[in-house]
Amino acid sequence: GAGVSQSPSNKVTEKGKDVELRCDPISGHTALYWYRQSLGQGLEFLIYFQGNSAPDKSGLPSDRFSAERTGGSVSTLTIQRTQQEDSAVYLCASSFPGANEQFFGPGTRLTVL
């Protein structure tokens, strides 16, 4: 594909519901990253995948957050029992491992009412 794609572009949900956010990386990029961009916290790292494994999950804010990657390609970020403080733009990026440039998707704007 031309670039990193994410879906949905916008998601509005009610407090307490679960949500799934999807990321489709650039073909051939084995490294995949999730970040969160929020007003109060800026841009924060959440999790990094190399292939299907996640050697760095240090940025996940709580056990309500999880992510998986299958087939070394698409990744899903799941937030369970959403809270209002989860409202943010969730960004996905991909790269070749060790490469300096990470390519970012357009993001998913999550609003928790």
First-to-last C-alpha distance (Å) of the chain = 34
Choose, by CB under 8 A, the member of 22, 30, 45, 80 that binds another protein.
45
Distance in angstroms (rounded) separating the CA atoms of residues 104 and 80:
24
Q: How many CB atoms lie within 10 A of CB 111?
A: 13
* Residues 48 and 30 sit within 8 Å (Cβ to Cβ): no
What residues between 23 and 42 interact with another protein by CB under 8 A? 31, 33, 35, 42
* Residues 31 and 96 sit within 8 Å (Cβ to Cβ): yes
CB of 52 to another protein, least distance (A): 15
Q: Between 46 and 79, name the residue whose CB sits nearer to another protein.
A: 46
CB of 17 to another protein, least distance (A): 26
Size of site (CB under 8 A) for another protein: 23
* Residues 37 and 88 sit within 8 Å (Cβ to Cβ): yes
CB of 95 to another protein, least distance (A): 8
Distance in angstroms (rounded) separating the CA atoms of residues 8 and 99:
27
Q: Between 18 and 85, name the residue whose CB sits nearer to another protein.
A: 85
In the complex, the residues that contact another protein under the rule CB under 8 A are 4, 31, 33, 35, 42-45, 48, 50, 56, 59, 91, 93, 97-98, 100-102, 104-107
